[in-house]
Amino acid sequence: MAEVPGTTTIADRVIVRLAEQAAAEASRDGRTGDRPKTRAHADVAGQRARVQVETSTYWPEPVATAGARIAERVRHDLAVLAQVRADHVEVKVVTVLPPSAPIARSIR
């Protein structure tokens, strides 16, 4: 009889760090330079989570647009990297930064 494979348990703090990294990358939206300061909190139960993120975005993008993009990136990264479903992602934009750094785009 074949053995049943084990399970991997990911600590809640890892989920928080993954959410912070995803939100910071999404906040930058291709801009170069320092990443915006981002904080997260996650309530994790098994393979599901509720996540709250505080981050910054850049002028002139509407806050609602940035928030939706950041929430989707957090959901995606948690699902792909940790196999955790984020049932709810709340994004709070605490700072709107000036458009200081140009957006880095690849040439196609």
**What residue ranges define each of the domains in the chain, with the CATH number in brackets?**
12-97 (3.30.300.20)
Q: What is the pTM of this model?
A: 0.83
Percent helix, strand, coil in the chain, to 5, is 35, 30, 35
> What is the C-alpha to C-alpha distance for residues 41 and 58, in angstroms, rounded to an integer?
22
> What is the C-alpha to C-alpha distance for residues 91 and 65, in angstroms, rounded to an integer?
11
Q: What is the tens place of the pLDDT at every residue in 42-95? A: 999 999 999 999 999 888 889 999 999 999 999 999 999 999 999 999 999 999
Q: Taking 80 as the threshold, does the pLDDT of residue 2 lie above it?
A: no
Write the CB contacts of 56 (distance below 8 Å, at least 6 apart in sequence). 27, 36, 37, 38, 93, 94, 95, 96, 97
